[in-house]
Structures are given as structure tokens and as C-alpha cells.
Amino acid sequence: MSKELVRAREEVRRRLLDADDLVSASAGGAVRGENPQWRRIEVRPVALKDGQRLQVVTFDERQSFTTNHQWGADAERVVDGLLAEPFGHWHVATTKDEFGFRISKGGRVMVTRSSRGRERRVDHDRAKSRLVDPAAPFLRQLGISDAAGHIKKSKTDKYRQVEEFVRLLDAAVRDAEASGRLTTPRLRVVDLGCGNAYLTFAIYHHLHEVMARDLDIIGVDVKEQARRHNTEVAMRLGWSEHLHFVEGEIATASVEQPVDITVALHACDTATDDALARGIGWQSELILAAPCCHHDIQRQLRAASPPSPYGLIMRHGLMRERFADLLTDAIRVHLLRRSGYRADVAEFVDSKHTPRNALIRAHRTGVPSTDEQEAEYAELVAAWQVSPRLADLLK
């Protein structure tokens, strides 16, 4: 282990064990060639009936696990165990400052610091460690929670979607900050195809109200009615100075640049490709897209002869539809990598709530795909005889 990594982990450890000043911390990713026990972890102080504790939430690919630990020897043991995991990045916020580090593919330790501390709130523990307070005013304005700040029974699934998206957004933003690529004083975020803007308002609330980031958000939707409704909600919340909505197509709407974060959630069929192409063209540091419908590749598969022996799959419409979903998004991830992004696919919400539950996450690195990856891509599209919309847009 390098001296730089030892020093960075010691700084993280000191902040994690500071019972008076710790606000929150997170870690995730993996050192190249290593495999951490958890996909991501979150750490924060919480107030329980028997006193303040250090809470650790660990995430695997499907669920989260929460444990609470007494300050002192128990907390030290747990923190040392977490720091021993080969996570690719750490970020810690305290009342005094923020500190983070990321390990590059070449093993270089890249450190980020901020002298700006955060407000400390040691809330009573909530069973599911919510990132979005059910009593947040924007949820009441959107009709997700009632006047008492309780989630309406009919809106439970919508709240769950908002909560999980914010969790993924929080992790992506902190990762980008730790890598030193999202350091602009005022972020510009564009939500393409925002619709009723549930998640647009959630983005503003979390980045501005929770993470204390200055930002401007533009929500784009083809419907004039959506623009008027969303603008009225923003005005009632007092957010209209920095949260704007415009009427327009995803592919052509006029948007002031630069755009630091591009979001497109459930844009139908090739509209997701239009959104990804715009994010790439803007060189957004983060691109988050939840695809919806994959009719274009489905149509192409119906017209093509499948490679042997995959005809067994293509004979059945439901199987062909599901395969088209996987093929389309795998192609999109590769084209993002070709364009200099580190990209992956995460579960957005549980599949029992919606079948459209994938979220493509892309972080700009400037590192293009390898020759081997390009060869795999060329072989894939040739075998299935498809012409991806995103590839055409990026030409």
C-alpha cells in the first residue's frame, strides 16, 4: 500500500471517528482488480433511545443492511473493517470540512478537499435510512405526501421511485466530486423529458437543500401544459429563480451550456438516445438515464435473421422484447464508453413495482473504449444486424 493511500485512509478514519463533527460519509466503486464485499456503504451519526450511535448502511446488488455501533472500540473496529475494503473512492463530510479520495486505474491516489463544512443533524434513526424526508414541501406540493407530511398510500410507489433515484444521484454526485470532476461553484442540470417533474424537483431539493450546492436546473418537456404546471409549482416553492421549465423536443430544445449533469428518465424509445447524445455533446460530467421502451431495436430484430442458435429466443415475442431491452442498453453503455465515459447499469426501483427499472449511469473520464471493446461491439451489431440510433446520432 502506497504512503499516499495510507495517509488518505488515515484522514478518512479520523473524521469517521469524530463523534462531535461527523455529518456523513460514503464509499463505493472498486480498486482495479479487487472486489469489495459491498457495492456501496454509507456512514452517519444517529440518535437512538439509548444514545448516539454510528450507523453503517451497506448495499449489495439487491438490498441494504443497517447496523448501529457505540462510539469507541466498537466503532473503531467497524471503521477499520470498512477502510480495509478495496473501495475505489471515499468521501467524508464534517461540520468543519469535506475530504475525499479516489484511486485511479493506474493506482494513483487523487485527493479532494473543501474547507466548507456542513450542518450537522443527528436525526432519530428511521427504519430505512431515508434520503428524502416524507415531509419535504415539494412532496406535498406534488401530492405525494399529505399536509401532515405522511406519504399517501396511493403514492407509495412514486415516493419509493423518488427515494431510490435520489440515493443513486447522491452516490453519483459524491463520486464525481471525489474524482475532482464536478467542482464548478454552480452546477447546471438539465432534465430532458421531465414530464410532471417529480424527479426534477427531487434533484433540486437534494442537491440544493440537502447537499448545499448552488445550481440551476432546466426541465424540458414537449407538453406546454407540463411547462405551465411545473413552473407554478416551482413558484409556490420559492425555487423559480433557479428552477426553470421549457417546452421543446429532447433533441432540439435550446439549452444554455455548459451542462454538468444530464438526466433523462423514462424517455420513450429513441428519445433516450437523443438525450444521451445531447449529454455526450455537452460533455456533461454525469449522465443519468432510465430508458423506457425499446421499439426501435425490437423492430430491427423482427426483420433480421438471428444468429445461430438464438432463433429459439426470437420465436417468442415476449422473449424477443426482453432481449431487445438488454441489447439496446448494452449498446448504449458501450457507446458511452466510446465517448469517454465510465458507464454501468443499476436497478432503479424494484422490478415488482415497474419492469422499466434500469438506470444507466455515466461518469465522464475522457478515457475512450479499448480496441478489444470496439471489436466486441462490431461483432455484436453485425451478428444481430442492428443499426443503433445512438451510433447514428454520434456520427
Query: Could you state, in chain order, the average pLDDT of each consecutive group of 10 residues for the chain (395 residues)?
Result: 90 94 90 87 87 87 78 94 93 91 87 81 55 89 90 90 90 82 89 94 93 92 95 95 95 93 89 95 95 88 87 84 90 94 79 64 90 94 94 93
Polymer length of the chain: 395
Residue 239: predicted pLDDT: 95
Grid coordinates in use for 353?
A: 413495482
| Range 337-342, long-range pairs (CB < 8 A, 24+ positions) | 337/368, 337/369, 337/373, 338/368, 338/369, 338/373, 338/374, 338/377, 338/394, 339/280, 339/368, 339/394, 340/364, 340/365, 340/366, 340/367, 340/368, 341/280, 341/287, 341/365, 342/367
Any idea of the CA torsion for 265, 267, 269, 275, to the nearest 10 degrees? -90
Residue 123: predicted pLDDT: 56
Contact criterion met (CB below 8 Å) for 67 and 44: no
Report the C-alpha gap between 293 and 325 in whole angstroms. 8
Residue 229 neighbours by CB under 8 Å, 6+ apart: 196
Q: What is the CATH number of domain 137-394?
A: 3.40.50.150
Domain with CATH 3.40.50.150 in the chain: 137-394
β 358-364/214-221 pair status: unpaired
Contact criterion met (CB below 8 Å) for 260 and 286: yes
Give Cα 163 distance to the centre of its chain.
11
Give Cα 198 distance to the centre of its chain.
16
For 123, the 3-state DSSP assignment is: coil
Residue 126: predicted pLDDT: 46
- The helix (H) or strand (E) run that includes residue 320 is helix 317-338
Residue type, 152: K
Longest dimension (CA), the chain: 66
Q: Please report where in the chains the cell 444481430 appears, as a residue.
A: 384
